[in-house]
Chain A
Amino acid sequence: MTEIPASIEPSLSALRAAFPARFEAAPTEQALRDENAKILGKKGELTAILSQMRTVPPEARKAIGEQVNALKQAVEAAFEARLRSLARAKREQDLSAPPFDLTLPGRPPAPAGHPHPISIVRDEIVDVLVSLGFAVHDGPEVELEENNFTKLGFPPDHPATDMQDSFWVDVAGAPPGERRTLLRTHTSNVQIRAMTTHAPPMAFIAPGPTYRRDDDATHSPMFHQIECFLIDRHVTMANLKGVLAEFAERFFGAGTPVRLRPSYFPFVEPGAEVDVGCPFCKQPNGTRAGCSVCKRTGWIEILGCGMIHPVVFESCGIDPEQWTGFAFGMGIERVAMVRYGIPDLRLLFENDPRFLAQF
């Protein structure tokens, strides 16, 4: 065994004896790292010891080298161990700290926006009909009398126009003449717009605002409709019933019955009003018990429909011998009121924030 020079040996021994306690005494991670650097760092104590190696006789260097390496490994291991124990202690402290005050109010997220119930219902209706194969068509809200009435077969001076009491308008700068303008009373003007710009076949829906001169709990002078029409070679009333039945199933829920009652609209024939089974009093066996929403009838009227009248085709230059079609028009407010159980139409147009936030 080679003699170790007296100058190195005591320093090594002293360091070997002292470092565990020095690490244990370090209260924080930073203090521990500082202590570790004091020993192992570039200017640390072990480096200082190693710098004396040249005073060691060559034959002893190997042994001392081994001792230094062993010490270095021991220090590193102790450092890691202490590091872990400090981290653990810190976590223990965190875990055992007093509980959060969960009674404080929740921090509000960014405020949520709400679509208007009319928009929700309209978009849903549009989506159902689009999925059945209809495309969307725009139309103007201020319209020529000929597109809103005449070409749709409303006879002049006929009480049929009483069904749709109109707002007649003056348009600034319009060329003077016979062309009377009004706020469209229905989205059916889009039928004329589409038929005079597209050749059949065509399958369109047209949502939008409409206007009639009514104002009470069930009528608003501005309201919203969605028009749907299909024109092709052999469109039948059975097809109309098929589309309505499918719509009712998808929109109001499986098993919703549909009923057509004959009615009159100048631009369709045969014409019908359509009821769906009341969604509010449906019984487990599929029948309807009757409730206040459906006025005890089990049915709720939602739209008017019919086979497009030949006079409409003729006024748009389409041969009614070659083409047939159906059309229906639905009031969106009505459907929204049924869907959400809204008792008064006026709520829809007051836009009270507490109302809007419910949808």
Chain B
Amino acid sequence: MKASLRWLRELCPQLPDDAAALAARLTAAGLEVEGTEAFGAGTEACVVARVVSARPHPSRDGLRLVVVDRGGREQEVVCGAPNVPDPGGLVVLAPLGAHLPAKGMTIERRTIAGTVSEGMLCSEAELGLGDDGSGLLVLPAGVAAPGAALTHALPGARDTIFEIGLTPNRPDGLGHLGLAREAAALFEVPFPPPSPTRGADATDGGEKHVSVSIEDAERCPHYGFAVLVGARIAPSPLAVRWRLSSLGVRPISNVVDVTNLVMLELGHPMHAFDLARVRGGKIVVRRARAGEAMRTLDGVDRTLHDDDLVICDGEGPVALAGVMGGGDSEISASTTRVLLECAYFDPRGIRRAARRHGLHTESSHRFERGVDWGDTRHALERAASLVSTLAGATLAGRTHLEEARSLSRASVTLRCERVGALLGAEVSRSDVGAILGRLGFERQGARDGADTWLAPSFRPDVSRPVDLVEEVARVRGFDAIPATLPAIRPSRDAAPRASLARRARAAGVSMGLSEAISSAFVSRPDLHAVGAPAPAVSLRNPMSEEQSVMRTSLLPGLLRVLGHARRHGEGGVRVFSVGALFLASAGSLPDERLAFAALLAGERPAWLTKPQPVDVWDAKGLLEGLVQRMLHREDTVRLVSAAAPPPPAFHPRGAASVEVDGKVVGSLGPLHPDVADAFELGDGPVMVVQLDLDALDAVGARPVRFAPLPRFPASARDLAVVVRDGVPGGDVERAVREAAGELAEQVALFDRFVGGGVPAGHASLALHVVYRAPDRTLTDAEVDARHAEVVAAVQKRFGATLRA
């Protein structure tokens, strides 16, 4: 809501002229002033000038040399405007040095087509007073003597405009009157009640021109109207135009401008019909019939819904009530009889209709928040008076108000100690009374430490005692409340998911991965491409098709991260994400499974050697490290090569499902090259680890138990065997472990070698075995004997030959 300081002070002259002080006080009371701008700053140095003569520029078409009188001194300026008035007309001169912020320029001595010009005759747009840049601003005759400062001649050219961020509970702030009343209460200055000036009564009443009937009292409790005859439609005076412009409303014509002025003053939207175009001389307020059609002011043909409230004439809808008028009945240049409408519509219905039609208007904005239903007649009288003044019209009879349903002000009883108990600050009953009184609440009764207050009709947000407590708190200011730490009685965590996620993130980071947080919105094709389950949660109103379903896999998000990194030349990507997957369930809400996924791409670190791209064993090591950190169960990790066909996201050579302690908890493998293509990742291997954290958590962490440190020395032996190429290294390792038995403290496969002296189709595997007994020092003979059994077992089982 834009608010004019000048207007606020017209309504309440005792308000301070200090814009900053006013802004600070309003903000401190919950009407946040988000910005302040100077309207008409460009007019500051400008003066009124009288045209003395004008002649064409000697050498340049379209330019004229205009001599103006700027108060006893004549000056010639070059002017390109088409509407230089005849001699005697008043225009606005921006002299040398004048700054015009709207144009971002300062007037300097310029030579235009060979003629020196020391000033500029200005349009409204150049002065920042309006949109009209088509020609010079021509002032009314006699407004001021030549040479007068423009801001002195027309004070409305300068104003301070506040941008107020109103919360939806304060519709009373959507008009200057309400803001002035609030400010008066905050500054504790008297607020003069507005006194409507009545237009002259004519002999024939408005009911002779139009009959009004309300068919839906629920949706339209009040419908007020006034008929004005003899209107002459014309542009509004400058002061009105500038006021509207300063508040972001485009001036249109005197009658329409009046409806906007009253809305900006009283917060009550109004509508003006050309009565000549109201067919049958009648107005009916009713629900639309499904399928009924009308064209609104914006030129859109709309099909109505049977929940829409419409204003109809004798033949059909002429306005979407409270939202937008119809194109057929709007005020035009030929209008002479005007029907002014000022109603109170049910806020919820207006909101439904506005949303249904995708409309958000100044009118619907106010009605859906709740306008002041007690102000209807006043608003009509105010508008009628202004139309009389500006358009020379006469009010036919008086204003009319049909009340189909009576509305009542809220009555709220507040126990005084409730205020202090909720705020934690002492507030006296008299302070409470003074504050509420200034805000327009009326005390109806008092007994037993409780006061009953009648809320004003402009405060639809107040209905409970706590609403009054808030009024007291915000007017006193929150700074008046002390800060006291409470004694907090302990609660117990109810967050298995938060703590699991935190453990998983810590494990990921400790494994050298960085955390990526990706959107939970994905597209169906992305999920399909990675072979994830079909989405269970789809958005009805997504931002885009790309973000139309909730993820069932973290992979698309991570692949997008990789794609972004690669496009920016960052090939080395080691990232993980932890987040919910939204899976199908039997209930109203999806099954939100907590998942972990990691991507490895690029090269692993190397030193003075050629770095090698990551491979599936990096993924395996990562997985084991994660399981170690989260569960202490790395020794039970098993990769089960996926049964044919492998999961579509993975390269079939490396795809595996992950088991921990015999339970499937995830999957691992190189990304399938087709998936890499689908995500436009380019070349280079990508390794993926996916874990179902809920499944992992169900396996449970192995409790950490102290193991005694070995007291006797170990003996190590190495073993190199040549096996056929297809023999899994893990099988050889396991065979060694089994043969070495209880004496084997550690078995490590530390080298795998192909080529050289190794026969074709074979590989040389080197293993390191550490022997140790817990209760004695093993003798060399004992170790040699056991190691010989190991060698024999490996030779027998794999047909291996020993390598020197």
| Residues of A that sit less than 8 Å from B by CB | 104-105, 107-116, 118-119, 123, 126, 132-138, 140-144, 155-160, 162-163, 167-175, 177, 179, 181, 183, 194, 197-198, 201-204, 206-209, 211, 213, 215, 220-222, 230, 232, 234-239, 241-246, 258-264, 269-273, 307, 309-310, 324, 348-354, 356-357
> Which residues of B409-455 are within 8 A (CB) of A?
421-425
Contact in complex: A222, B521 (CB < 8 Å): yes
Q: Is the CB of A113 within 8 A of B536?
A: no
Once the chains bind, are B521 and A221 in contact (CB under 8 Å)?
yes
**Contact of A307 with B493 at beta-carbon distance under 8 Å, contacts A260-B478, A351-B561 already known:** no
Query: Known interface pairs A108-B605, A141-B580, A356-B515. Does A238 touch B482 (Cβ–Cβ under 8 Å)?
Result: yes
Q: In this assembly, does B38 line the interface, its C-beta being within 8 Å of a C-beta of chain A?
A: no
Return B247 CB to nearest CB of chain A, in Å: 21
Q: Whole-angstrom distance from the CB of B354 to the nearest CB of chain A?
A: 10
Tell me, yes or no, whether B574 is within 8 Å of chain A by CB: yes
Once the chains bind, are A142 and B592 in contact (CB under 8 Å)?
yes
Instruction: Considering the complex, give the chain A residue whose CB is closest to the CB of B512.
Output: A111
CB distance A264 to B167 under 8 Å?
yes
How distant is the Cα of A159 from the Cα of B350 in the complex, in angstroms? 11
In chain B, what residue has the closest Cβ to A241? B483
A213–B543 touching, CB < 8 Å: yes
Given known A171-B590, A230-B486, A349-B518, contact A356–B575 (CB-CB < 8 A): yes
CB–CB A232/B489 < 8 A: yes
Q: Closest CB-CB distance, B483 to chain A, in whole Å?
A: 4
A215 touches B588 (CB 8 A): no
Q: A159 vs B169: C-alpha distance in the bound complex, in angstroms?
A: 9
Flag if B499 contacts A236 (CB, 8 Å). no
Those 8 A-B pairs whose CB atoms lie nearest each other, nearest first: A238-B424, A236-B424, A262-B30, A133-B488, A264-B167, A136-B495, A351-B516, A157-B348
**Which chain B residues numbered 699 to 754 have a C-beta less than 8 Å away from chain A?**
none
Q: State the majority secondary structure of interface residues on A.
A: mixed
Residues in B neighbouring A194, C-beta threshold 8 A: 494
Beyond A113-B514, A167-B542, A352-B568, is A238–B608 a contact (Cβ under 8 Å)?
A: no
Task: Count chain A CB atoms within 10 A of each CB in B352, B486, B513 and give the residue with the most.
Answer: B486
The docked-state distance in angstroms from the alpha carbon of A109 to that of B512 is 10
Interface membership of B570, Cβ < 8 A: yes
B109 at the interface (CB under 8 A from A): no
Cβ of A222 and Cβ of B519 under 8 Å apart?
yes
Among candidates B29, B369, B515, B580, residue contacting A114 with C-beta atoms closer than 8 Å: B515
What are 22 contact pairs spanning A and B, CB under 8 A? A111-B512, A111-B574, A115-B505, A135-B494, A137-B495, A138-B496, A141-B520, A142-B537, A142-B590, A158-B348, A159-B369, A173-B585, A174-B587, A197-B494, A203-B488, A221-B519, A262-B474, A269-B469, A270-B423, A349-B518, A351-B516, A353-B573
- CA gap between A232 and B511 in the complex, in Å: 43
Chain A residues near B425: list those with CB within 8 A.
Answer: 236-238
Which residues of A have CB within 8 Å of B540? Answer: 167-170
B482 engages A241 (CB within 8 Å): yes
Q: Is the CB of B607 within 8 A of A138?
A: no
Assuming the contacts A107-B607, A264-B168, asked whether A113 and B537 have C-beta atoms less than 8 A apart, the reply is no
A273–B574 Cα gap in the complex (Å)?
39
Cα-based distance from A198 to B511 in the complex (angstroms): 38
* 7 further A-B pairs in the complex, CB-CB below 8 A; given A113-B513, A222-B519: A157-B348, A159-B365, A237-B478, A269-B467, A270-B469, A270-B474, A353-B514
Interface positions of B from 572 to 609, Cβ below 8 Å from A:
572-575, 579-580, 582, 584-590, 592, 605-608
Distance between Cα atoms of A350 and B368 in the complex (Å): 39
A222 to B580, CA, bound (A): 13
- Chain A residues with CB below 8 A from B584, complex form: 172-173
Given contacts A113-B510, A209-B579, contact A236 B484 (CB under 8 A): yes
Contacts of A167 in B (CB 8 A): 539-542
Q: Is the CB of A310 within 8 A of B464?
A: yes
Q: Say whether A239 contacts B485, CB under 8 Å.
A: yes
B62 to chain A, nearest CB (A): 43
CB distance from B503 to the nearest CB of A (A): 12
Residues of B within 8 A of A137 (CB): 493-495
Do A140 and B607 touch (CB < 8 A)? Answer: no
Do A114 and B509 contact each other (CB < 8 Å), given the known contacts A159-B168, A213-B543, A222-B520?
yes
Which of B168, B464, B517, B542 contacts A351, CB < 8 Å? B517
Within the complex, the shortest CB–CB distance from B524 to chain A, in Å, comes to 12
Asked if B478 contacts A261 (CB within 8 A), the reply is: yes
Contact yes or no, A134 B168, CB < 8 A: no
List, in ascending order, chain A residues with CB within 8 A of B579's CB: 209
The interface residues of chain B lying within 8 Å CB-to-CB of A112 are 512
Contact of B607 (CB < 8 Å), options: A108, A221, A270: A108
- Please judge, given known A-B contacts A174-B587, A324-B422, A351-B518, whether A169 and B608 are in contact too, CB under 8 Å: no
Evaluate whether A238 and B168 lie within 8 angstroms (CB atoms) in the complex, with A111-B605, A221-B521 already known.
Answer: no
| B538-A170 in contact (CB<8A) | yes
| B502 in contact (CB, < 8 A) | yes
Q: How far is the CB of B588 from chain A (nearest CB, A)?
A: 5
* Bound-state Cα–Cα, A237 to B420, Å: 10
Complex Cα–Cα for A356 and B577 (A): 13
**Segment 461-478 of B: residues with Cβ below 8 Å from A:** 464, 466-467, 469-470, 473-474, 478
Structural contact, A169 and B539, CB atoms closer than 8 A: yes
